[in-house]
Amino acid sequence: MSTMPALPFSKIRTAAGLAFLSGEMPFAADGSIPEGITAQTHLTLERIATTLATEGLSLADVVSVNVFLTHKEDFAAFNAAYASHFSDPLPVRATVCTELVAPARIEIAVVAALRG
């Protein structure tokens, strides 16, 4: 089982009509991380959707996405899984390949527009 200790930052903050979400990783409820980039992408975006819902938002409200991948060769499979969660108008996005602090293949941070 892979779990991260409590860290000194907020999971979500709102300011200036926007909701800022900290980087989310693909931790299942039991702390495990599923195998493969497709499963990790879906779980990460599901976790983001759950956090957005606490502010009455959904993935449709996301305007900006920052993606961190650990393996460049995962890009095509990540992109296919990612695309199934968003529709027009698509959020802007940056994707980089880097090392992460947890044994996951992906981390995603988003900014969403508040409603009303």
Name the DSSP class of 90: P
Closest alpha carbon to 48 in 85, 1, 3, 81? 85
pLDDT band at 17 (very low <50, low <70, confident <90, very high): very high
Residue 7 confidence (pLDDT) above 80: no
Residue 4 confidence (pLDDT) above 60: no
Name the DSSP class of 24: B
pLDDT band at 6 (very low <50, low <70, confident <90, very high): confident
pLDDT band at 45 (very low <50, low <70, confident <90, very high): very high
Give the other-Cβ count within 10 Å of 16's Cβ. Answer: 6
pLDDT band at 21 (very low <50, low <70, confident <90, very high): very high
pLDDT digit string, tens, across residues 62-100? 999 999 999 999 999 999 999 999 999 999 999 999 999
Contacts of 57 (CB under 8 A, 6+ apart): 19, 112, 114, 115
Q: Give dist(CA 104, CA 115) in Å, integer.
A: 32
Specify whether the backbone of 31 is left (phi greater than 0), alpha (psi in -120 to 50) or beta.
left
